[in-house]
Amino acid sequence: MIRLFLSILLFAAAAQAAKTLDIYFIDTEGGQATLVVSPSGQAMLIDTGYAGFGGRDANRIATAAKLAHVKRIHVLFLTHYHQDHVGGVKNLLEVLPVESFYDHGGDVEHGNKYSNDYINAMGASPHTVYKPGDKIPIKDLDITVVVGSQRHIETKGEPNPFCAGLAPESGEAGENPQSGGVVIELGKFRFADLGDIIYNEELALLCPENRIGKVDLLLTPHHGTHVSPKADYAMAPRAIVMNNGPTKGGSAGAYKLLRAVPGLEDLWQLHFAVGGGKDANSPDTFIANIDEKCEGKYLKVSAHEDGSFTVLNSRNRFTKTYAAK
């Protein structure tokens, strides 16, 4: 009897240890909706995609949540107030409850219909204005805000050799530079989602020191719309996910720079980028949606504490596992 009891305890402990951090990259046709599910089952949603389209993006989020056995969003983290990120909040609340809302503060573009709709939809729910260095409370995960409101985390980092010759660009304004971003950790596994920050914010975060450190998985800043500074190379991701649409994001220049990241094994895409052609897209195996009019297939990452992770393409059921280092 004692031996049986011990066996049950060991089995339960092994089952708990085997639980993964699951990340669903949901197709919002060039926006963002990233569902993060901790081993405990608590869920954080980063952005909500577009409004309208018959509730398309909210329904795709709800489908992913059902697959993940998620019945509520514990934290809704909004990177910024553009329609492809915040537009779907009202539709989301029609299909899933949200316990708490996190955003970078006021909309700097003012009078934005989508930020006003967000405020109205949030109502009196618990609300936090985050700042770099803050922690997002999701059980089993270490989630740090690293950028937001044109400020970055002030941690000490390693000197970044890829900063040589780089300088800020002019003309950046509006909500994109205000975008929030996080690094999510489970044990040795590290994932960075930097929202829609653009060139100067990436440069400030990573130069002259890399304040993020190395990551295993990176979501392309701003959908691969712009060419990031080579300073990004210091993050050394093993895999990159590009949340582009068929005709938004995934620029040939961004693709070329990302493919050249030292040590990169694969670049996964939510869509085939029509403008790039075969030379500026990954092989079809690594793309969730290859047709311009698509079914909204997702990419799923399952990560373990030892740093290993597996990526699943829901369109073709292709998987690739990246072993622990």
> What's the CA gap between 129 and 131, in Å, rounded?
7
Q: Give residue 15's pLDDT.
A: 43
Q: Give residue 3's pLDDT.
A: 53
Pairs from 253-258 (Cβ < 8 Å, separation ≥ 24)? 253/227, 254/220, 254/224, 254/225, 254/226, 254/227, 254/228, 255/224, 255/280, 255/281, 256/280, 257/227, 257/228, 257/230, 257/232, 258/220, 258/224, 258/228
Give the type of residue at 131: K
Say how many Å lie between the first and final Cα of the chain, rounded. 40
Whether the model clears a pTM of 0.75, i.e. scores above it, the answer is: yes
Tokens of 303: 């990560």
Specify whether the CB–CB gap between 181 and 83 falls below 8 A. no
- What is the enclosing helix (H) or strand (E) of 181? strand 181-186
Q: Give residue 10's pLDDT.
A: 37
Q: Give residue 16's pLDDT.
A: 45
Peptide bond before residue 208 is cis, with ω within 30 degrees of 0: yes
Block mean pLDDT (10 aa), the chain, length 325: 45 55 98 98 98 97 98 98 97 98 95 91 97 98 98 96 96 95 98 98 98 98 96 98 97 97 98 94 98 96 98 98 96
Nearest to 30 by CA among 49, 48, 55: 49
Specify whether the CB–CB gap between 92 and 77 falls below 8 A. no
* CATH node for 19-322: 3.60.15.10
Q: Give residue 111's pLDDT.
A: 79
